Structure 1
Amino acid sequence: MSARSRLDTLAQARPEWAAWLRVVRELAADLSDPAWDANPPRTAPASDRAPLLAGAEMRPDTRAIARLLERLSGVARAQGLHAMAGEPRQAPGTPADALAVFMAALNDDDAALAMQASRAGASAQGWRTLAGLLPMPHLHACARRWAAGPRAAWPHGYCPVCGAWPTFAELRGVERARHLRCGRCGAGWPMPVLACTYCATTDHDTLGALVAEDKKAHFSVDVCHRCSGYLKSCTTLQATPSDELLAADLASVEFDLVALERGFLRPPGPGVALRATLSVEAASMPARRWWR
């Protein structure tokens, strides 16, 4: 089943989410589109603690970013999600404006995102949610590039590519090897079964799991009583395709709710602040109007 088909199925099961899922569906095909593989970032020297994009100089296709933001905003407005996309007459109008949204979302810059939301006539949280989708195709391209090259072991709970905390863990195959999956860029990396993703404790007395009564459920929840963190975990024969991670995360939201009801949380923000910058050539694009 394709990512879009999964989202369509989820929209039928959760009609109250249908408007938001149509926005996510607009993004889905871009996540695996090789057109985004062009213009990879200039990265800092490799580090055993810093993710690939920490301090990177980003060189995204400026007009592709502007077109994607126009598409996402257009679908959101068509679905009545004006708190998320703002009003057309107030929306940014140039590729440079779209790049500013891209960089603010990439760097998790709350102040910049709040300012953009105010200018667009959107709510701060709604705009943050929409803007968070914008860097994802470029980040997936970065993760594909990372996966294709030589890789050192990565012992941390945050993503080795973009620094985000994982969306969920996979227990793969008959041996149930544990791999963490990043919902932001699609990367995956191995992690010991008995280790907290967030505080790295391996004390089995502080680690636990919330398991569904339904024995056929593929998801459970790993919890840590030391830091009160949680992470969903699923059993699977093979890795979830990168472009289907969003759908899998949304389809298993009831496990998030169970964890929250019991007082477990996910850390706010990313695991590592990227502090990426924009390349000179991308920043110097002509500021002619691109959005209608």
Structure 2
Amino acid sequence: MLWPHARFRRARNVDLQERVAAARRETPESDAWLKLLEAALGESEDGAVWDAAVPEPAAERPVKAPVLSHAHITLNGRAARRWLRQLLTLALPQQVRRIDGIALLEAALRYDDAGLDALAQEAGADPSILRVAGQMAVLPLLQACARRLARELPPTWWEGYCPLCGAWPVVAEYTGLERKRQLRCGRCGAGWAIPQLRCVYCDETHHDNLGYLTPEGGEQTRKIEVCNTCKGYLKAVTTVRALAPWAILVDDLTTVPLDIAALQRGYRRPERPGYSLECRITERRGWGRFVEVGGGWWRSLRQGEA
């Protein structure tokens, strides 16, 4: 049964609505996943709560660590729980009340599958569903971080994993006339340049060990980059302009035949992220600003807080 007071934000982006509708027609079996994605992208559009939670990057972090490594994120607890209640109503309606939402966000942000599985066990939920729901739950926060921390990204980044959140890319873009290779993260939407003749997973650069697969039927804008050293693969697309963050995720779903072709030939995507984040999320129950009134400091609560 659905949570009685759950209200779902629908994404207002017309292009997104049309792409999702097309994806439903082409892959009706993906409807449950698309509902979660729609909810997450709708929440991301109304991003004030998540923009306010974007942390300052840690002053000291390890070499090659993403920007969010060792970050301390403080969330508006009420707003975060409202969002998680809505999302989990779609994914796990019977277990909504049993799942610690803040712990779910932190485990998903850190790619802590063991932590997610422990939460699932405590709630009597399907671990595989909670893993997917966790990644959708943290998407609005990560996309807010990508918007607000864009200037913090290193001007040159030689790693295959995302410079913001540590995830592997889901697609390589070849954009514009120059067709330079740009990797795109499916979690936060960040993009970063990397040399063309290089495996994003194992750094292989010898051309004899690198190649690509092309779809049948003469498709010119799609291919699959493959590495015969680590047996990894990455989908690639030629575009006029960079994909919007939402389009990266929808595009990944609608090109599943490319994944199947790669898997049938023995290639795979890594199961673990390129860099596991060491970060934490805490709850801020009263989320206002402090103003000076009559010589004293008083907290000015925002509408809806008491």
Stretches of structure 2 lacking an aligned partner (at least 5 in a row): 1-13, 288-306
Residues 223 and 237, structure 2, Cα contact 8 Å, conserved in 1: yes
Quote the Cα distance in structure 2 between the aligned partners of 1:252 and 1:234: 11
**2:66 is equivalent to residue 51 of structure 1:** yes
Bigger shift: 142-151 or 6-15?
A: 142-151
85, 94, 102: which one pairs with 1:87? Answer: 94
For 1:283 and 1:114, the matched residues in 2 are separated by 25
- 5+ unaligned residues in a row in structure 1: which ranges? 77-84, 287-292
Say whether the 8 Å CA contact 1:48–1:154 is kept in structure 2.
Answer: no
Query: Deviation of residue 285 (structure 1)?
Result: 7.1
Identical amino acids, percent of aligned pairs: 39
Q: Distance in 2 between matches of 1:177 and 1:7?
A: 28
How far apart are residue 12 of structure 1 and its match? 1.3
- Separation (CA, whole Å) in 2 of partners of 1:245 and 1:152: 22
TM-score, normalising length from structure 1? 0.87
Does 148-157 or 234-243 show the bigger shift?
A: 148-157
Residue matched to 1:119: 122
CA–CA distance in 2 between the matches of 1:215 and 1:209?
Answer: 14
Shift of 1:150: 6.7
SS in 1 for 2:128: helix
Post-superposition offset of 1:50: 0.6
Does the residue aligned with 2:87 lie in a helix, a strand or coil?
A: helix
For residue 168 of structure 1, what is the amino acid of its counterpart? V
Greater RCO (Cα-Cα under 8 Å, separation 6 or more): 1
Aligned partners of 1:130 and 1:156: how far apart in 2? 28
156-165 vs 21-30, greater mean Cα deviation: 21-30
Query: How much has 1:253 moved relative to structure 2?
Result: 1.1
* CA RMSD across the alignment: 2.0
Q: 2:149 aligns with which of 146, 151, 154?
A: 146
1:135 is displaced (CA, Å) by: 1.0
Matched, 1:206 2:209: yes
Out of 26, 40, 45, the position equivalent to 2:39 is 26
Partners of 1:32 and 1:243 within 8 A in 2: no
Query: Which residue number in structure 2 is paired with residue 188 of structure 1?
Result: 191
Decide which moves more: 247-256 or 40-49: 40-49
Secondary structure of the residue that 2:169 maps to in structure 1? Answer: coil
| Cα distance per residue 1:92-141 (max 9 Å; x no partner) | 3xxxx211100011112222211211222221111111111111111111
CA distance in 2: counterparts of 1:212 and 1:124, whole angstroms = 34
